[in-house]
A and B are shown apart, each in its own frame.
Chain A
Amino acid sequence: MRPLFKFHGGVHPPTHKVESTRTPIARAALPSKLVIPLHQHVGNRAVPTVQVGERVLKGQIIGRPEGRLSSAVHASTSGTVSAIDMQVVAHFSGLPDLCVTLIPDGKDEWFPHSGVDYKQTAHSELRQRLRDAGIVGLGGAVFPSDMKSYSHKHKIKTLVLNGAECEPYITCDDLLMRERARDILRGAEVLRELLYAEEVLIGIEDNKPEAIAAMRQAVLDDGHGHMEVIAVPTLYPGGGAKQLIRVLTGIEVAAGVRSTEMGVQCFNVATAYCAWRAITFGEPLLARIVTVTGNVERAQNFEVLLGTPVEELVAQAGAKPDTYKHIMGGPMMGVDLPSASVGVTKATNCIIEAAQSAFPPPEPAMPCIRCARCADVCPAELQPQDLYWFAKSKDFGKTQEFSLFDCIECGACAYVCPSHIPLVQYYRFAKSEIWQREKEQQAAELARERHDFRQQRIEREKQEKAERLAQKERAALAAKPPAPAPLPVAAPAADLDNTLQMRVDADIARSNMQMRIDAAAARAKEQATAEQPKNTDALTPQQQAEIAEIEARRAKFHEIASHSGADDESPKHS
Chain B
Amino acid sequence: MWSSPFITTPTSVSQIMLRVLIALIPGIALYVWYFGAAILVSLALASITALVTEAVMLKLRNRPIKPFLSDNSALITAWLLALSIPALAPWWLVVVGTAFGIVVAKHLYGGLGNNLFNPAMIGYAVLIISFPGHMTHWISPQELASTGLSFAEQLNYIFNGVLPAASALDAYTMATPLDTLKTQLHLGLSVEAIRDMPIFGYLGGKGGEIVAIGFAIGGIYLLLTRVINWVIPSVYLGTLFAIAAIFHLADPTHYVAPLFHLFSGAAILGAFFIYTDPIGSPTTRKGQIIYAAGAALLTFLIRAFGGFPDGVAFAALLMNICVPLIDAYTTPAVFGKKGARK
Contacts and interface: CB of A to CB of B under 8 A. Distances in A.
Given A366-B67, A370-B283, A415 B7 contact: yes
B2 interface: yes
Interface stretch (B46-54, B110-118, B175-183): B110-118
A381 B333 contact: yes
A418 B113 contact: no
B62 to A, nearest CB: 6
Nearest to A94: B1
A379 B327 CA distance: 19
B6 A380 contact: no
B7 A13 contact: yes
B7 A385 contact: no
Given A333-B5, A372-B278, A380 B334 contact: yes
A271 B291 CA distance: 50
Interface in B258-301: 278-279, 281, 283-284
A455 to B, nearest CB: 43
Nearest to A411: B5
A435 interface: no
Contact of A414 (B5, B11, B112): B5
Contact of A354 (B6, B9, B15, B111): B6
Given A370-B278, A381-B333, A422-B2, A566 B63 contact: yes
A201 B111 CA distance: 51
B63 A570 contact: yes
Contacts of B337: 254, 403, 406
A364 B111 CA distance: 17
A333 B5 CA distance: 6
Contacts of A425: 3
A416 B335 contact: no
Interface stretch (A177-185, A314-322, A355-363): A355-363
Contact of A415 (B1, B9, B279, B332): B9
B335 A419 contact: no
Nearest to B278: A371
Interface in A353-406: 354, 359, 361-364, 366-372, 375, 379-383, 385-386, 402-403, 406
B335 A406 contact: yes
Interface stretch (A111-119, A142-150, A305-313, A334-342): A334-342
Interface string B5-48: 11111011101100000000000000000000000000000000
B271 to A, nearest CB: 18
Interface in B48-95: 62-64, 67-68, 71, 73
Interface string A99-112: 00000000000000
A332 B7 contact: yes
B167 interface: no
A422 B8 CA distance: 10
Contacts of B68: 366, 566
Contacts of B283: 370, 372, 375, 383, 385-386
Nearest to B332: A381
A416 B9 contact: yes
Contacts of A422: 2-3
Nearest to B66: A566
Contacts of B150: none
B4 interface: yes
A364 B6 contact: no
A331 B5 contact: yes
A10 to B, nearest CB: 12
Contacts of A386: 283, 327, 331
Contacts of A420: 8, 12
B186 interface: no
B12 A338 contact: no
A406 B336 contact: yes
A383 B113 contact: no
Given A257-B336, A336-B2, A381-B334, A369 B7 contact: no
A332 B335 contact: no
A168 B8 CA distance: 12
Contacts of B62: 570, 572
Contacts of A419: 12-13, 113
A567 interface: yes
Contacts of A369: 13, 16, 73, 112-113, 278-279
A414 B11 CA distance: 12
A7 B63 CA distance: 40
A350 B67 CA distance: 36
A92 interface: yes
A483 to B, nearest CB: 85
B6 A327 contact: yes
Contacts of A331: 4-7
Contact of B13 (A366, A375, A385, A424): A366
Given A336-B3, A369-B279, A362 B8 contact: yes
A252 B4 contact: no
Contacts of A363: 8, 12
Contacts of B6: 327, 331-332, 334, 336, 354, 359
B111 to A, nearest CB: 7
Nearest to B333: A381
Contacts of A570: 62-64
Nearest to B280: A370
A362 B2 contact: yes
Nearest to A419: B13
Contacts of B9: 11, 415-416, 418
Interface string B101-125: 0000000000111100000000000
Residue among B16, B68, B335, B341 with most chain A CB within 10 A:
B335
A58 interface: no
A92 B3 contact: yes
B104 to A, nearest CB: 18
A420 B68 CA distance: 14
A239 to B, nearest CB: 15
A334 B12 CA distance: 23
Contacts of B13: 366, 369, 418-419
Contacts of A359: 6-7
A350 B73 CA distance: 41
Contacts of A383: 283-284, 331-332
Nearest to A418: B11
Contacts of A366: 12-13, 67-68, 71, 112-113
Given A375-B284, A381-B334, A424 B71 contact: no
A242 interface: yes
B165 to A, nearest CB: 50
Given A375-B284, A383-B283, A566-B64, 11 more contacts: A242-B336, A254-B335, A333-B4, A366-B68, A366-B71, A372-B278, A385-B283, A402-B331, A406-B334, A416-B9, A418-B13
Interface of A: 7-8, 11, 13, 92, 94, 168, 242, 246, 252-255, 257, 325, 327, 329, 331-336, 338, 354, 359, 361-364, 366-372, 375, 379-383, 385-386, 402-403, 406, 409, 411, 414-420, 422, 424-425, 428, 566-567, 570, 572
21 contacts: A252-B341, A254-B335, A331-B4, A332-B6, A334-B4, A336-B6, A359-B7, A367-B113, A369-B16, A369-B113, A370-B113, A370-B279, A372-B278, A380-B335, A381-B335, A383-B283, A414-B5, A415-B8, A418-B9, A418-B13, A567-B113
Which 7 interchain pairs have the tightest Cβ spacing? A254-B336, A411-B5, A367-B113, A252-B336, A372-B283, A371-B278, A418-B11
Interface of B: 1-9, 11-13, 15-16, 62-64, 67-68, 71, 73, 111-114, 278-279, 281, 283-284, 327, 331-338, 341
